[in-house]
Amino acid sequence: MDIKKLQTLVVDALEDVKAQDIVLFDTTHLTSLFDRIAIASGTSNRQTKALAASVRDKVKEAGGDVYGMEGEDTGEWVLVDLGDMIVHIMQAPIRAYYRLEEIWGDKPVKLGAAKRKSTKEAAEAAPKKISTHLAAGKKAAEAEAVVEKKAAARKPAAAKKAPAKKAAADKPAAAVPTGKKVKVAAPKATVAAVKAVKAAKAAAPKAAKAKAEEAPAKTVIKRIKKPAAE
């Protein structure tokens, strides 16, 4: 099996079971026994065993060879021998103690580069070619740069669309200068009441005069005292 395809399968199998701190190194310049070495961490004995089983099963399904597995009985450090690639699955304390990265980590391989475009997932993720004569194949016009104007110089759009009547109603009253009297119109009801009182006062003398003319004149009879007899 191609080494690039093999390393892709191993990384995918480790990620499927949530392996931690996955690293991949190229060892062709250090030894002729294998070309790649992968190191990953598990949080428990159960997870390390599950990670090793996932790598084994995925490689076998793809037609690869698994030459052996060691450390499954304890689960602290499980080694999977794939011929051209060795996978070390370790718990964090064991990994920190042995520090395999310092021995084999001269030439790391990026995990993004480990996943080749030949895989099914990469093929599905690749953009499909669209015929240029279709509308969907035409490139969208590039958006022109827009220079933002200052907020003070720009009028809000809502003010332009507002009707004239509403704008007149919302217009604030003119400011009244201090020190001057402002005449305020009296209510219509008050004006009518004042007029009625004035009219009643004006009609009162005329009514009294007419009443006096209508009343009969009083006659005054004076008694004349007779002189007393001497």
CA distance 89 to 22: 9
Strands 36-42 and 85-91: parallel
Instruction: Give the count of alpha carbons within 13 A of 16, CB side only.
Output: 15
Q: Is 220 helix (H, G, I), strand (E, B) or coil?
A: coil
Given a cut of 50, whether residue 134 has pLDDT beyond it is no
Does 227 have pLDDT greater than 70? Answer: no
Largest CA distance in the chain: 189
The yes-or-no verdict on residue 122 having pLDDT over 50 is no
- Share the mean pLDDT of the chain: 74
Given this model, what pLDDT does residue 151 score?
Answer: 47
* Of the candidates 36, 39, 82, the residue with the CA atom closest to the CA atom of residue 58: 82
Give pLDDT, residue 116. Answer: 47
The average pLDDT across 51-70 equals: 94
The pLDDT score that the predictor gives to residue 159 is 45
Listed ranges 127-131, 189-193, 203-207; the one with the highest mean pLDDT: 189-193
Q: Is the pLDDT of residue 41 over 50?
A: yes
Report the percentage of the chain scoring pLDDT > 70: 54
Is the pTM higher than 0.85? The answer reads no
Give mean pLDDT, residues 211-221. Answer: 57
Domains belonging to the chain, first-starting first, are 3-111 (3.30.460.10)
Q: Are strands 20-26 and 77-81 parallel, antiparallel or unpaired?
A: unpaired
206 CB-contact burial (10 Å; exposed 0-12 / middle 13-18 / buried 19+): exposed
pLDDT at res. 147? 54
Mean pLDDT, range 84-112, rounded to an integer: 92
Q: What local confidence, expressed as pLDDT, does residue 132 receive?
A: 46
The larger pLDDT score, comparing residue 105 to residue 115, is at 105
Q: Are the C-beta atoms of 25 and 107 separated by less than 8 Å?
A: yes
- Average pLDDT estimate for 204-209: 64
Give yes or no for a contact between 22 and 40, defined as CB atoms under 8 angstroms apart. yes
What is the Rg, in whole angstroms, of the alpha carbon atoms belonging to the chain?
55
Q: What is the mean pLDDT of residues 90-96?
A: 95
